[in-house]
Amino acid sequence: GDSVTQMEGPVTLSEEAFLTINCTYTATGYPSLFWYVQYPGEGLQLLLKATKADDKGSNKGFEATYRKETTSFHLEKGSVQVSDSAVYFCALVVTNNNDMRFGAGTRLTVKP
Amino acid sequence: NAGVTQTPKFRVLKTGQSMTLLCAQDMNHEYMYWYRQDPGMGLRLIHYSVGEGTTAKGEVPDGYNVSRLKKQNFLLGLESAAPSQTSVYFCASSYRTGRLGTEAFFGQGTRLTVV
Protein backbone atom coordinates (compact mmCIF):
# COMPACT_ATOMS: atom_id res chain seq x y z
CA GLY A 1 0.00 0.00 0.00
CA ASP A 2 0.88 3.66 -0.11
CA SER A 3 3.34 4.69 2.56
CA VAL A 4 5.89 7.24 3.62
CA THR A 5 9.24 6.59 5.27
CA GLN A 6 11.13 9.42 6.90
CA MET A 7 14.41 9.54 8.73
CA GLU A 8 14.22 8.74 12.38
CA GLY A 9 15.07 11.36 14.90
CA PRO A 10 15.58 13.02 17.06
CA VAL A 11 17.73 15.56 15.27
CA THR A 12 19.63 18.14 17.29
CA LEU A 13 21.31 21.06 15.57
CA SER A 14 22.93 24.32 16.53
CA GLU A 15 21.35 27.56 15.38
CA GLU A 16 22.27 28.47 11.78
CA ALA A 17 23.14 24.87 10.89
CA PHE A 18 21.91 23.23 7.67
CA LEU A 19 18.95 20.89 7.98
CA THR A 20 17.99 17.87 5.92
CA ILE A 21 15.19 15.49 6.85
CA ASN A 22 14.86 12.60 4.42
CA CYS A 23 11.52 11.36 3.16
CA THR A 24 10.82 8.62 0.64
CA TYR A 25 7.48 7.29 -0.49
CA THR A 26 5.76 4.30 -2.06
CA ALA A 27 2.60 4.92 -4.05
CA THR A 28 0.67 3.12 -6.76
CA GLY A 29 -0.72 6.32 -8.25
CA TYR A 30 0.55 9.87 -8.63
CA PRO A 31 0.75 11.37 -5.16
CA SER A 32 0.77 14.89 -3.89
CA LEU A 33 3.45 15.30 -1.24
CA PHE A 34 3.42 17.42 1.90
CA TRP A 35 5.48 18.44 4.87
CA TYR A 36 3.55 19.25 8.02
CA VAL A 37 5.00 20.74 11.20
CA GLN A 38 3.77 20.22 14.75
CA TYR A 39 4.85 22.70 17.39
CA PRO A 40 4.65 21.65 21.05
CA GLY A 41 1.08 21.28 22.29
CA GLU A 42 -0.44 22.05 18.90
CA GLY A 43 -1.97 20.24 15.96
CA LEU A 44 -0.24 19.79 12.64
CA GLN A 45 -0.04 22.63 10.18
CA LEU A 46 0.98 22.60 6.56
CA LEU A 47 4.56 23.71 5.93
CA LEU A 48 4.83 23.13 2.19
CA LYS A 49 3.59 20.90 -0.60
CA ALA A 50 4.25 19.72 -4.16
CA THR A 51 1.72 18.17 -6.49
CA LYS A 52 3.80 16.81 -9.38
CA ALA A 53 7.25 15.63 -10.27
CA ASP A 54 10.01 18.26 -10.15
CA ASP A 55 7.81 20.74 -8.28
CA LYS A 56 9.54 22.54 -5.44
CA GLY A 57 7.56 23.51 -2.38
CA SER A 58 8.90 26.29 -0.17
CA ASN A 59 7.85 28.23 2.91
CA LYS A 60 9.58 30.01 5.80
CA GLY A 61 13.01 29.15 4.38
CA PHE A 62 12.20 25.45 4.08
CA GLU A 63 12.28 23.71 0.70
CA ALA A 64 11.51 20.26 -0.68
CA THR A 65 11.63 18.99 -4.27
CA TYR A 66 9.37 16.22 -5.57
CA ARG A 67 11.75 13.65 -7.10
CA LYS A 68 9.85 10.97 -8.95
CA GLU A 69 12.98 9.10 -10.05
CA THR A 70 14.10 8.59 -6.46
CA THR A 71 10.58 8.68 -4.93
CA SER A 72 11.78 11.28 -2.47
CA PHE A 73 10.70 14.59 -0.96
CA HIS A 74 13.53 15.63 1.37
CA LEU A 75 13.06 18.71 3.56
CA GLU A 76 15.90 21.24 3.70
CA LYS A 77 16.65 24.56 5.34
CA GLY A 78 19.89 26.46 4.98
CA SER A 79 19.99 28.03 8.43
CA VAL A 80 17.76 26.78 11.22
CA GLN A 81 16.55 28.85 14.15
CA VAL A 82 15.56 27.93 17.68
CA SER A 83 11.95 28.62 16.70
CA ASP A 84 12.13 25.78 14.14
CA SER A 85 12.20 23.23 16.96
CA ALA A 86 9.19 21.00 16.29
CA VAL A 87 8.17 17.62 14.91
CA TYR A 88 8.11 17.39 11.11
CA PHE A 89 5.89 14.95 9.23
CA CYS A 90 6.14 13.93 5.62
CA ALA A 91 2.81 12.91 4.07
CA LEU A 92 1.26 11.86 0.80
CA VAL A 93 -2.14 11.83 -0.79
CA VAL A 94 -2.69 9.68 -3.84
CA THR A 95 -4.78 11.19 -6.59
CA ASN A 96 -8.42 10.09 -6.39
CA ASN A 97 -7.84 8.62 -2.98
CA ASN A 98 -9.43 9.91 0.18
CA ASP A 99 -6.82 9.66 2.87
CA MET A 100 -3.40 10.98 3.75
CA ARG A 101 -0.56 8.75 4.85
CA PHE A 102 2.00 10.17 7.27
CA GLY A 103 5.53 9.27 8.14
CA ALA A 104 6.50 8.61 11.74
CA GLY A 105 7.66 12.17 12.31
CA THR A 106 11.11 13.60 13.00
CA ARG A 107 11.69 15.68 16.11
CA LEU A 108 14.04 18.61 15.53
CA THR A 109 15.65 20.50 18.38
CA VAL A 110 17.66 23.60 17.60
CA LYS A 111 20.00 24.87 20.32
CA PRO A 112 21.18 28.47 20.59
CA ASN B 1 -11.62 32.19 12.98
CA ALA B 2 -11.92 28.88 14.86
CA GLY B 3 -10.93 26.39 12.12
CA VAL B 4 -11.06 22.88 13.60
CA THR B 5 -12.06 22.53 17.24
CA GLN B 6 -11.81 19.33 19.26
CA THR B 7 -13.43 18.61 22.59
CA PRO B 8 -12.38 17.56 25.13
CA LYS B 9 -8.65 18.31 25.16
CA PHE B 10 -7.83 15.77 27.87
CA ARG B 11 -9.64 12.75 29.25
CA VAL B 12 -8.88 9.80 31.48
CA LEU B 13 -11.09 6.73 31.11
CA LYS B 14 -11.28 3.45 32.92
CA THR B 15 -11.12 0.26 30.89
CA GLY B 16 -14.56 -0.58 29.55
CA GLN B 17 -15.95 2.95 29.74
CA SER B 18 -17.31 4.70 26.69
CA MET B 19 -16.87 8.23 25.42
CA THR B 20 -17.34 10.43 22.38
CA LEU B 21 -14.86 12.89 20.97
CA LEU B 22 -16.31 15.82 19.09
CA CYS B 23 -14.76 17.58 16.14
CA ALA B 24 -16.26 20.74 14.68
CA GLN B 25 -15.08 22.73 11.66
CA ASP B 26 -16.34 26.06 10.41
CA MET B 27 -14.73 26.06 6.94
CA ASN B 28 -17.53 24.23 5.13
CA HIS B 29 -15.16 21.37 4.31
CA GLU B 30 -16.51 18.19 2.78
CA TYR B 31 -13.82 15.84 4.10
CA MET B 32 -13.15 15.10 7.75
CA TYR B 33 -10.76 12.65 9.38
CA TRP B 34 -9.85 11.12 12.69
CA TYR B 35 -6.25 10.14 13.34
CA ARG B 36 -4.40 8.74 16.30
CA GLN B 37 -0.82 9.69 17.04
CA ASP B 38 1.43 7.27 18.85
CA PRO B 39 5.16 7.60 19.57
CA GLY B 40 7.30 6.41 16.68
CA MET B 41 4.28 5.67 14.48
CA GLY B 42 3.24 9.03 13.14
CA LEU B 43 -0.44 9.58 12.47
CA ARG B 44 -2.66 6.68 11.55
CA LEU B 45 -6.08 7.14 10.00
CA ILE B 46 -8.95 5.70 12.04
CA HIS B 47 -12.04 6.73 10.05
CA TYR B 48 -12.89 9.43 7.61
CA SER B 49 -15.90 11.02 5.95
CA VAL B 50 -16.28 12.45 2.46
CA GLY B 51 -19.51 14.24 3.23
CA GLU B 52 -22.51 14.55 5.50
CA GLY B 53 -24.03 11.16 6.26
CA THR B 54 -21.05 9.16 4.96
CA THR B 55 -18.21 7.44 6.80
CA ALA B 56 -15.46 5.00 5.86
CA LYS B 57 -12.78 2.97 7.58
CA GLY B 58 -9.17 3.97 7.60
CA GLU B 59 -6.05 2.06 8.62
CA VAL B 60 -6.94 1.30 12.24
CA PRO B 61 -10.75 1.36 12.65
CA ASP B 62 -11.24 -1.46 15.17
CA GLY B 63 -12.71 -0.37 18.49
CA TYR B 64 -13.98 2.95 17.13
CA ASN B 65 -17.18 4.18 15.55
CA VAL B 66 -17.92 7.50 13.88
CA SER B 67 -20.86 9.57 12.75
CA ARG B 68 -21.26 12.59 10.48
CA LEU B 69 -24.84 13.71 10.96
CA LYS B 70 -24.01 17.34 10.21
CA LYS B 71 -21.46 18.57 7.72
CA GLN B 72 -19.57 20.58 10.30
CA ASN B 73 -19.30 17.83 12.95
CA PHE B 74 -17.50 14.50 13.02
CA LEU B 75 -17.84 12.36 16.13
CA LEU B 76 -15.50 9.58 17.21
CA GLY B 77 -16.84 7.04 19.68
CA LEU B 78 -15.15 4.47 21.86
CA GLU B 79 -17.75 1.96 23.01
CA SER B 80 -15.54 0.03 25.43
CA ALA B 81 -12.20 1.71 26.00
CA ALA B 82 -9.02 -0.37 26.21
CA PRO B 83 -5.52 0.65 27.37
CA SER B 84 -4.31 0.17 23.78
CA GLN B 85 -6.47 3.16 22.87
CA THR B 86 -4.36 5.47 24.99
CA SER B 87 -3.17 7.99 22.43
CA VAL B 88 -3.44 11.53 21.14
CA TYR B 89 -6.36 11.90 18.75
CA PHE B 90 -6.42 14.48 15.99
CA CYS B 91 -9.29 15.57 13.86
CA ALA B 92 -8.68 17.15 10.47
CA SER B 93 -10.73 18.56 7.65
CA SER B 94 -10.13 19.51 4.06
CA TYR B 95 -12.00 20.76 1.03
CA ARG B 96 -10.92 17.67 -0.87
CA THR B 97 -7.98 15.30 -0.93
CA GLY B 98 -6.02 13.74 -3.71
CA ARG B 99 -6.77 16.67 -5.97
CA LEU B 100 -4.18 19.38 -6.53
CA GLY B 101 -2.62 18.86 -3.15
CA THR B 102 -5.44 20.18 -1.02
CA GLU B 103 -4.31 21.12 2.46
CA ALA B 104 -5.73 19.53 5.61
CA PHE B 105 -6.44 21.59 8.73
CA PHE B 106 -5.94 19.99 12.11
CA GLY B 107 -7.42 20.46 15.53
CA GLN B 108 -5.20 20.78 18.60
CA GLY B 109 -5.69 17.19 19.64
CA THR B 110 -7.29 15.20 22.46
CA ARG B 111 -5.01 13.37 24.85
CA LEU B 112 -6.81 10.23 26.01
CA THR B 113 -5.53 7.91 28.70
CA VAL B 114 -7.23 4.59 29.40
CA VAL B 115 -6.32 3.04 32.74
**Contact state of A99 with B107 under an 8 Å Cβ cutoff:** no
Q: What integer is the mean pLDDT of A2-26? A: 93
Q: Could you tell me how many CB contacts below 8 A there are between chain A and chain B? A: 72
Residues of chain B with Cβ-Cβ distance to A46 below 8 Å are: 103-104
Nearest-CA residue of chain B relative to A98? Answer: B97
Residue B97: pLDDT band with limits 50, 70, 90: low
Model pLDDT, residue A60:
95
Q: For residue A90, what is the nearest residue in chain B, using CA coordinates? A: B42
Report yes or no: B74 at the A interface, CB cutoff 8 Å. no
Are A92 and A100 a contacting pair, CB within 8 Å? yes
Query: To probe the interface with B, which of A4, A7, A38, A98 has the most B CB atoms within 10 Å?
Result: A98
Convert chain A into a string of H (helix), E (strand) and C (coil): CCEEEECCCCEEEECCCCEEECEEEECCCCEEEEEEEECCCCCEEEEEEECCCCCEEEECCEEEECECCCCECCEEECCCCHHHCEEEEEEEEECCCCCEEECCCEEEEEEC
CB contact under 8 A, A99 and B42: no
pLDDT of A53-99, one tens digit each? 999 999 999 999 999 999 999 999 999 999 999 999 999 987 666 67
